[in-house]
Structure 1
Amino acid sequence: MISMEKTKVLKYVKKIAIWAIGLYFAAGVILYFVQNKLIFHPEVLPVNYQYKFDIPFQELLIPVNKKVKLSAVLFKANRPRGMVLYFHGNSSNINRYAKAAPDFTQHGYDVLMMDYREFGKSTGRLTEAAMYEDALLMYKVARSRFAPWQIVIYGKSLGTGIAAHLASVRDCRRLLLETPYYSLEDVASQAAPIYPYSLMLDFNLPTYEYLPAVTAPVTIFHGTEDETVPYASGKKLQELLKKDDEFVTIPDGGHNNLRDYPLYRRKLDSVMAL
């Protein structure tokens, strides 16, 4: 009798284990195929869409090749002394992030804000290599107007990896990162540490690989209550900073509200005034 009971239990446990393994692999397959929808949330705009902003601006359509064009907006400062290359987050398009432009134009910096491929009016297929390529093109536009020491590279959220890569291969005045990640693999691992993301992710954006090669001064902003990119992921970048670089912790700051905190504004104003 005892032997039969043990056999039943073992069969039950085996069945549960098979189901669990099956669910694990099924969920992993689904995760692999929907990963881009989980990472990117673009909002496409019609080609005839007219931007409306409260500060002077110029819309740019920058050709990459015969098939791909990048949509960008140049926010204009009064008598500009430099340019900020602004790489935005993973949602919507330029409309969502334009509110940040006055933070820089008030200090005499034009702001060039680009939509990634598949965002806004930009065309072409979005890949990690394409993001780096397009960032280099934005830098080329900036260099047609300003010297490297007049160019500030700014990345927010998703854009921090792109900004860090650009600053690692091109000279600039300063690199500013808002709510950065160690890598997308690190963010995914902290959210659900049960899959081999290094083998699954089409996008990794390893910020940690690029920061050591950045010779310009670096300032990082991260809130302790970030619900999208864990503070712990951004904090790991601090050990890669140079002696005079700065990691600014915003107590209670979330992912999209750092501009509401006086500490963020004071620090940003101080570095932009340099």
Structure 2
Amino acid sequence: MSSAPPPGIYVPQVIFFTDDEDLDIPPIQEHILRLANGGVTGILVQGSNGEAQHLSHKERKQAIQLTRKTLDKNGFQNVLVIAGTGAQSTRETKKLCVDARDAGASHVLVLTPSTWPPQMSIDNIIRFHREVADASPIPVMIYNFPVVTAGQDLDSDTLAVLAEHPNIVGTKLSCGNIGKLHRLTSRFPSSEFAVFAGRTDLLLQGLLSGSAGTIAALVNILPKLHSKLYKLYEEGNIKEAMELQGKMGHADWAVGRIGGIGGIKAIISKNFGYGETFVRGPLKAVDPEKLEDHKHYSVLEELIALEKSL
């Protein structure tokens, strides 16, 4: 049986571009190392925050290779690299899984195709993920994110059926459904099927319900604070962990209001001194100089100051 990724804090890394929309290698590497130094267990390359659907196959493979080589060269061989391999056909998804293995990923994360939602019955969804898992040379995780899959929201029964496949080893739940998370964790041990909260505002609640941790966008900005919260949970210091979780939940909400992927890049550029804010259309860039005018930004300023103090 294939191995599930170990419990911990994972980050769907943003990827930086030059003004002509090529991969901007130095800030990508700087970001990788700040995340690794922040204590993350693994880096997800080409999750939704990595603009996977905007990259060519060559760029996707290059980004995975760059992440793995940067980690290895700097003594972070223990940090996992997971690759998002979602595509709109079974054939392309299978190819991306092979590319991910060849580029150095240990696991892949697969979205349900969304071009033809009327044809994506439960049986067809299960068939798609099983065929991909049969063909993937590395273990597969299911990525449940209704916002980017035309509203398709896999329920716990469907995910439990998929969890029985010997090469399907986990899921990222960006649906925010804590009941679904708990139904899965109470049925499958994390060593066999790792269930990750896909948002920071469910991190501690997920851990208390048996999750393996989180794969969350806010980790791009606050890796050390996520690691601290996880450690507080492991130590049994639930009161302090809950206080920090409350603040992190407000920060998670704030990032979404500021501009999602564009907002994350702007916040990193302004506060950590690397990376331009370019995104590929139809996403919109956010001006770092206007962040302080946004009513939600003050919540983040407090936590960024705390992050820098750790």
TM-score bin, normalised by smaller chain: 0.3 to 0.5
Greater gyration radius: 1
**Larger RCO, structures 1/2 (Cα 8 Å, 6+ apart):** 2
TM superposition score normalised by structure 2: 0.34
Higher helix share: 2
Q: Which has the higher strand share?
A: 1
TM-score, scaled to structure 1: 0.37
